[in-house]
Amino acid sequence: MKVLIATQKPFAAAAVAGIKEILEKGGHEVLLLEKYAEQADLVKAVADVNALIIRSDKVTAEVLDAAKELKIVVRAGAGYDNVDLAAATAHGVVVMNTPGQNSNAVAELAIAMMIFMARTQFTPATGSEVQGKTLGIQAFGNVGRLVGAKAKALGMKVKALDPFLSDEQIAAGGAEPVHSLDELYAGSDYLSLHIPALPSTIGSIGYDLITKMPKGATLVNTARKEVIDEAGLEKALEERPDLKYVTDVAPDNFAVLQEKFGLRVFATPKKMGAQTAEANINAGLAAARQIVDYFATGNTRFQVNK
């Protein structure tokens, strides 16, 4: 089978080598499309491929229409909001993710971002310490649990809210369970977001929630920019000069936020939560193994469009 690795933001070279080795051993041919400039390049490249490995690359209905031989797309990562699942299902294409494989990298970035903001973006201005502060975690999945464990090691108190988990499951993950967003935001000096971008979560974090946070609080977003109501965030930062926002996914209004709020806001230039050699290797190799297994045995364990 022809397998295309299409990564606008490339994997580390070691990950690409490992992916190729697994796929070639499985009898597949590997093609590589990296750092492509336009979506049209992806549309062109998928014409005769049977499998696709992607990161945040957009697999739209147009891509799926053009990929006449496509059987499977594996998103090497957790979030699959970049894949048109309905169109994939309509084309009979299996979509998988590789849950957990890049979680540690994202969790480390969330912790780094908290400390970066606590220490006023590494400027000489007097900062604060995270020890003794409370971290609220919104969604206690693979990343949220790792963030919690690392925060506890730093001496933070950890609370979490997750509608899909029982109190016992949250406590077993080392956090104090919280039952409403209002309670979570009101009690968190740091609030770390780990929710996916879904119709129900898009634009769900706005003025009302953000202004519930206590004095001096910081909102940390290593999830998706779409979950933030950007106008609400701007209004909250305007009214509450004590609040801060740090994000791995720059909001559309970031230039305005930066001009208005200076060191109280920070955004990475390009999403980098999962951009470590380890995460690239873990997620990339898992994607390759899942493709080999799918063609060899029909295993659909990680399929997300069942």
Residue 194 within binding range of ligand 3PG, rule CB under 6 A: no
Residue 46 C-beta: closest distance to ligand 3PG, Å = 18
Question: Binding string to ligand 3PG for residues 6 to 35, with x set by CB under 6 A, is what?
Answer: ---x--------------------------
Residue 228 C-beta: closest distance to ligand 3PG, Å = 15
Q: Which residues of 198-211 are buried (b: 16+ CB within 10 A; e: fewer)?
A: eeebbebbbbebbb
- Residue ranges with strand state E in 126-267: 134-138, 157-161, 176-177, 190-193, 218-221, 244-247, 265-267
Q: Which is nearer to ligand 3PG, 212 or 271 (CB)?
A: 271
Whole-number Å distance between alpha carbons of 292 and 60: 24
Q: Which is nearer to ligand 3PG, 79 or 127 (CB)?
A: 79
Q: Which has the closest alpha carbon to 208: 186, 223, 177, 175?
A: 186
The amino acid at 274? A
Q: Tell me the residue number closest to ligand 3PG, measured at CB.
A: 77
Residue 102 C-beta: closest distance to ligand 3PG, Å = 5
Whole-number Å distance between alpha carbons of 168 and 175: 10
Q: Which is nearer to ligand 3PG, 41 or 183 (CB)?
A: 41
Whole-number Å distance between alpha carbons of 232 and 163: 24
Chain positions 39 to 78 lying near ligand 3PG, rule: CB under 6 A, are 55-56, 77-78
Residues forming the site for ligand 3PG (CB under 6 A): 9, 55-56, 77-79, 102, 271, 273-275
